[in-house]
Amino acid sequence: MMTYEFLQHYWCFVVALLAALLVFLMFVQGANSQIFELGKTADERRLLINSTGRKWEFTFTTLVTFGGAFFASYPLFYSTSFGGAYWLWMLILFSFVLQAVSYEFQNKLGNLLGTKTFQVFLVLNGILGPVLLGGAVATFFTGSNFIVERDNIINEATPIVSRWANASHGLDALLDVWNVVFGLAVLFLARLLGNLYTYNNIEDAVLARRNLSALWKNTAVFLVLFLAFFFHIMTKDGFAYDSATGIVSMEPEKYFHNLFGSVPMLAMFLLGVIAVLLGVVGTYGWKSKDGTAFRGGIWLAGIGTVMVVVSLLLTTAYFNTCYYPSNADLQSSLTMQNSCSSEFTLRTMFYVSLLVPFVLAYIWYAWRKMDQKRLTHAEVQDHESEAY
């Protein structure tokens, strides 16, 4: 049952799921990118920041776990992408470092840089985080410029296995228009999720009205960008490989065939799209059982986001596809087969991953306990609330 091939597919799914959860949890970044648009007064901004401030650790932890899981299951990707696309990843990390301290420091006595500086840091992370992470993920479809040569270990000229093929070290990803389009699509997805989350989490009529006003605009921009990228990848050639020989070649409409050729994958994708749209539309049109406005759009859109991202990421890796293709040397492209850890490690990690449902259960329980009542101005201003 647990063959090496199964474990490779399993870990690919786990990494894709973590990436999808990360995209969903970037509602934190999405809301932060709109601090000054939604919050016109200091109190409103504080309310917004305290709302996302109770969830930012989840986003951060998911990013770290995503990195750890990728490292453990696909170490060649970790070394090639992080060591090669150095500047791209460093910019992402810088933006997340700024975020980590901004919540705690921004409103404290003795803050040498002032409240506004840290709020600007949150906005910076809110924009750069999704755009750059989205751009990095888009290279799974568009390719990157690296060369992998395992025999370099015994090469007297250089013992380094992975190299970037140009001097930009990852910034070249941002020169590809489709990477930027996808990065922006992720940003606007995060923004609409941020609107849905704060609409759900905060009890404030003014902020609710502004959220509803921003939601449709963010959704419209997201749909345009996402559909453009989607049609591009569905019609472009994909990076395929022969599982017997490992030889990589270009295959016309590879991603289209991957997605539409697999019923479970297509179903997951379509259900996800419908859930995202229902989450947005329902927020405007539906009523809750008690007759109040429907505020659960974040959950529908969140689940939908996870499903769409998982299905899209799996189309880059399943069905004999190179998930991290190289434009510099096609045969250096990374596949599930040639870049994964040993069977022993994947199996060991499989047993560890059985803890994940338990982890999700206590997160759900704690989240539910903490969010039983919506956040109010009164709670944030209560000195005992330890608010940011």
Partner 1 sequence: MENELFTIDSSMVDWSRAQFALTAIYHWLFVPLTLGLAVIMGIMETIYYRTGRDFWKQTAQFWQRLFGINFAMGVATGIILEFEFGTNWSNYSFLVGDVFGAPLAIEGIVAFFMESTFVAVMFFGWKKVSRGFHLASTWLTGLGATISAWWILVANSWMQYPVGQEFNLDTMRNEMVSFVDVALSPVAIDKFCHTVISAWVLGAVFTVGVSAWYLLKKRDVEFARKSMCIGAIVGLVASVLAAATGHHSAYTVGQTQPMKLAAMEALYNGGKDQSLTVFAAVNPFQQPDWQNEEEAPARLAVPYALSFLATNDFHGYVPGINDIINGYEKENGETEIPLSEKITRGNAAITAMRAYREAKRDGREQELEILSSEFQENMPWMGYAYVDEPEQVVPFIPVCFWAFRIMVGGGCLFILLFMVVLYSLTPNPSPSGEGSSRFRHLIKTFWFKTKYIFTLGKVTTPLSTRREAGGEAIPRWLLHAALWCIPVAYIVSESGWLVAEFGRQPWTIQDMLPTWVGVSALPTSSVMITFFLFLVLFTTMLAVEISIMCKQIKRGPNL
Nearer CB in complex with partner 1: 291/358:
358
Label residue 147 exposed, middle or buried (CB < 10 Å: 0-12, 13-18, 19+): middle
CB burial string 365-378: b at 16+ within 10 A, e below: eeeeeeeeeebebe
Distance of CA 323 to the CA centre of its chain: 16
Minimum distance from CB of 322 to partner 1 (Å)?
17
And the tokens for 85? 């696309």
Nearer CB in complex with partner 1: 68/261:
68
Answer whether 194's CB lies under 8 Å from 31's CB.
Answer: yes
Residues whose CB is less than 8 angstroms from the CB of residue 25 and which lie 6 or more positions away in sequence, other chains included: 55, 58, 59, 62
Nearest CA to 143 among 165, 117, 110, 119? 165
Nearer CB in complex with partner 1: 235/342:
342
Minimum distance from CB of 31 to partner 1 (Å)?
16
Nearer CB in complex with partner 1: 235/243:
243
Nearer CB in complex with partner 1: 277/328:
328
Amino acid at 69: A
Minimum distance from CB of 174 to partner 1 (Å)?
16
Nearer CB in complex with partner 1: 231/364:
364
And the tokens for 247? 């030889």
- Taking the CA of residue 348 as centre, how many other CA atoms within 13 Å lie in the half-sphere pointing to its CB? 8
Query: How far apart are alpha carbons 146 and 309 in whole angstroms?
Result: 25
Nearer CB in complex with partner 1: 88/196:
88
The DSSP 8-state label assigned to residue 81 in this structure reads I
Answer whether 309's CB lies under 8 Å from 284's CB.
Answer: no
Minimum distance from CB of 25 to partner 1 (Å)?
11
Minimum distance from CB of 268 to partner 1 (Å)?
23
Nearest CA to 240 among 229, 225, 254, 219? 254
Query: How far apart are alpha carbons 152 and 302 in whole angstroms?
Result: 44
Minimum distance from CB of 172 to partner 1 (Å)?
14
Bridge pairing between strands 162-164 and 146-148: antiparallel
Minimum distance from CB of 190 to partner 1 (Å)?
19
Minimum distance from CB of 164 to partner 1 (Å)?
7
Query: How far apart are alpha carbons 187 and 199 in whole angstroms?
Result: 18
Nearer CB in complex with partner 1: 24/255:
24
Nearer CB in complex with partner 1: 78/216:
78
Minimum distance from CB of 324 to partner 1 (Å)?
13
